[in-house]
């Protein structure tokens, strides 16, 4: 006969050979509604986003790329953290700033969650090793991939991707700085996960 067992605690049998273990018989399992069975560190939900768009900036402070306003399908559990994986390509013209890096970061709404001292997730300087002053490399593209884990501001956060340049130099996210051919376009990807605490 099916029924409901209401208890406040379950523990192993003291006289058992393994008194601190509660065993589920082979072939059986414990199930529950979403969020009802939680272990710290486990992934509760995952969602991925992609875009083939691009954006440009000359700002030396982080600005929203406009690519994502990512949200989870379900409300976050109390005390959960958010883990973000992001991959993007950035491109810029030759500017003479040898080996100067560019950066991306993650926003929770408008709050920067990925940057320390305005650094964020650093990417290689697209023209850091080129022959300055020559015609060999006028434009270049590099990849930025990174992760950020943070405590969200609410149980329904809006997660965004921001980026910044340096010295008022033009920077494109989502492809080569020259964007007049699909051969210069890339896909930007972001995956968000809720992590139980």
pLDDT recorded at residue 43 = 95
**62 assigned to some structural domain:** yes
End-to-end CA distance of the chain: 36
With respect to residue 23, please indicate whether it lies within any of the assigned structural domains: no
Q: Which domain holds residue 113?
A: 43-195
Asked if the structure places residue 136 within a domain, the reply is yes
Whether residue 53 contacts residue 67, with contact meaning beta carbons closer than 8 Å, is answered with: yes
d(CA 125, CA 91) in angstroms, rounded, equals: 9
**Of the given ranges (4-13, 114-123, 125-134, 172-181), which has the lowest mean pLDDT?**
125-134
The answer as to whether 16 is a domain residue is no
Q: Is the pLDDT of residue 12 over 90?
A: no
Are 109 and 178 in contact by the 8 Å Cβ rule? The answer is no
Query: Does residue 101 lie in a domain region?
Result: yes
Residue 10 lies in a domain: no
Please state the rounded mean pLDDT for residues 40-55.
95
Per the DSSP assignment, residues forming a β-bridge with 163 are 63, 104
E strands of 40-180, at which residues?
43-51, 55-57, 63-64, 81-93, 102-108, 111-112, 121-123, 139-150, 159-164, 171-173
136-155 confidence digits (pLDDT tens)? 556 778 889 999 999 999 99
- Looking at the 3D structure of the chain, how many domains does it have? 1
Is 91 among the domain residues?
Answer: yes
Helix (H, G, I), strand (E, B) or coil at 129: coil
State the pLDDT confidence band at 74, using cuts at 50, 70 and 90: very high
- Is the model's pLDDT at 14 over the cut of 50? yes
What confidence score (pLDDT) does residue 129 get? 47
CATH number (domain holding residue 159): 2.60.120.1340
- What is the pLDDT, as a whole number, of residue 16? 87
Mean pLDDT of the 93-119 span: 81
pTM of this structure: 0.81
pLDDT over 70 at 122, yes or no: yes
DSSP codes, 42-72: -EEEEEEEEE---EEE--SS-EE-SS--B--
Q: Does residue 70 belong to any structural domain of this protein?
A: yes
Query: Please, what is the average pLDDT of the chain?
Result: 86
pLDDT digits (tens, 9 = 90+) for 152-182: 999 999 999 999 988 888 889 998 888 777 7
């Amino acid at each position: 006969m099916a029924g409901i067992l209401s208890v406040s605690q379950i523990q192993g049998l003291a006289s058992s050979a393994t008194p601190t273990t509660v065993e589920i018989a082979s072939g059986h399992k414990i199930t529950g509604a979403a969020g009802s069975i939680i272990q710290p560190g486990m992934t509760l939900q995952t969602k991925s986003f992609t875009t083939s768009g691009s954006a440009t900036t000359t700002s030396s402070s982080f600005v929203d790329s406009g690519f994502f306003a990512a949200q989870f399908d379900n409300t976050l559990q109390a005390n959960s953290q958010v883990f973000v994986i992001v991959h993007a390509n950035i491109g810029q013209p030759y500017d003479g700033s040898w080996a100067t890096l560019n950066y991306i970061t993650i926003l929770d709404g408008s709050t920067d969650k990925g940057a320390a001292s305005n650094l964020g997730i650093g990417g290689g300087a697209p023209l850091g090793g080129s022959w300055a002053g020559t015609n060999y490399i006028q434009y270049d593209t590099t990849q930025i991939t990174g992760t950020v884990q943070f405590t969200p501001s609410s149980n329904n956060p809006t997660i965004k991707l921001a980026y910044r340049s340096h010295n008022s130099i033009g920077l494109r996210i989502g492809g080569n700085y020259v964007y007049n051919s699909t051969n210069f376009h890339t896909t930007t990807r972001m995956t968000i996960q809720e992590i139980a605490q």
